Chains A and B, each alone.
Chain A
C-alpha cells in the first residue's frame, strides 16, 4: 500500500461518522433551498401571484427602489428644466430680434447679424523677436495694455510650450483665451502675434498669411541690416499699422 492510499484509508476510518452527519444536514438544506427557488420561480412566472407578493412586501420594495428611482427622477426633471430654459431663452431672443428689426435699418441689421455669428476682428498685431521676446513694432487699438510685457509673456509661453513638447520643427501656433484668440506666425528670427476675436476662419488665415508674407518680404532684410533694433520701433509700428488697416478692410469685405 502506498503512502497516499494509507492516508485515505485512515481518513475513511476516522471521519466516517462526521461525513454521515454533514451529508444528512446538507440534504436538509438542499431540499429547503430547492423548494425556495421553485416557489420564487412559480411566483415570477405567474403575474397574479407576483403582484400579490409585491403588494404584501410594499414597504421593503419602496426601501430598495426608492433611492434609485429618486436619482432617476431628479436627473429627468433637471434635464427637462434645462430644455425649458433653452426654449425660453430662444423665444426671448427671437422676440428681441423681431422688435429690433422694426426700428433698425436693414443694412445695419444685416451687419449686426453677421458680426454676431463671429466675424473675426483683429485687436492687436505684435511683431516680436523670437529669442528675446522684445517688441519690434505693433498695431493695437487698446491703449491700456502694455504690449511690451504682453510680447515678453507670449515669448515665454511659446518657449515653454516648444521646450515642454521638445519639438524643433513644430511650434506653438495658436492660443485660445476666452473670446480672444492669438495666432502666431513665425518668420525667420521674428514672429507676428495676431490677437483677434471671432471665429478662426480659413479666410482669416489666408488673408493674414498673405499679408504677413508680403510685409516681411519687404522689411525683413531691412531688420537684419539694422544694428540697433530700437531705431526701428516707431518706423515699423507705422508700417504695421498701415499694412494691417488694409488687411482689416480686406477681411471685412471678404467676411460679408
Chain B
C-alpha cells in the first residue's frame, strides 16, 4: 500500500473547539503547553483513503496568534486546512471568514473545509443553512462527524496531488 504524507492545519478564532476536535481524533503526544508557548502543536493520525495509507500531520494553531508573523510561517507547505467556527457564536463565523480570506490571498488554491462546531449545543429546529455557509457540522463532545471531516479533507488533498 502506498504511503502518503500530508500537512493539515486547523484554523479559526479562539475558543471554537479546534483543539477539542483534534483531541477527539488523535491520541495527543504533546501537552497543551506548546500551544501557549510557541502557538502550535503537531499531532499525527494515519488513516486509509482510496487504498492509500495517509499520514496526516495535524498542526493545531492557537487562535490567539492569528495576527502574528509566525502564523503565516506555520501555514507554509500546508496541503489543506480545516476552518472551524462556533455555531453558537456568529461572530466566530465572521472572524473565520476573514482568516480564510487572508490565507487564500497568501496561499491561493489551498484545499479547505469549513466546519461549524459545537453542534450539540444547538437547538435541532434551527435552520443553520440560513445562517452559515459551511461544509460540515461537528461536535467534539459527541464525536459527530469528527473522523469524516479529516477523511474528506484527506481525499481532497490526494485528488489535488494526483491531478498535478
* Residues of A in contact with B (beta carbons under 8 Å apart): 129-135, 146, 148-149, 152-153, 156-157, 159-160, 162-164, 166, 227-231, 233-234
Contact = CB atoms under 8 A, between A and B. Distances in A.
Contacts of A231: 2
Contacts of B96: none
Interface string B76-94: 1111000000000000000
Contacts of A157: 38
Given A133-B77, A159-B76, A228-B161, 11 more contacts: A131-B77, A132-B7, A133-B42, A148-B57, A149-B43, A149-B44, A152-B57, A153-B42, A156-B40, A156-B42, A163-B69
Nearest to A156: B40
Nearest to B28: A149
B131 interface: no
Q: How big is chain B's contact interface, by range?
A: 20 to 34
A228 B5 CA distance: 10
20 contacts: A132-B76, A132-B77, A132-B79, A133-B57, A148-B5, A148-B55, A149-B43, A149-B57, A153-B30, A153-B34, A153-B42, A156-B40, A156-B41, A156-B59, A157-B38, A159-B76, A160-B70, A162-B73, A166-B69, A229-B5
A149 B39 CA distance: 16
A160 B38 contact: yes
Contacts, number: 76
Interface string B59-73: 100000000111001
Interface of A: prevailing SS: helix
B96 to A, nearest CB: 22
Contacts of A160: 38-40, 70
Given A135-B5, A230-B3, A149 B29 contact: yes
Given A148-B5, A156-B40, A134 B77 contact: yes
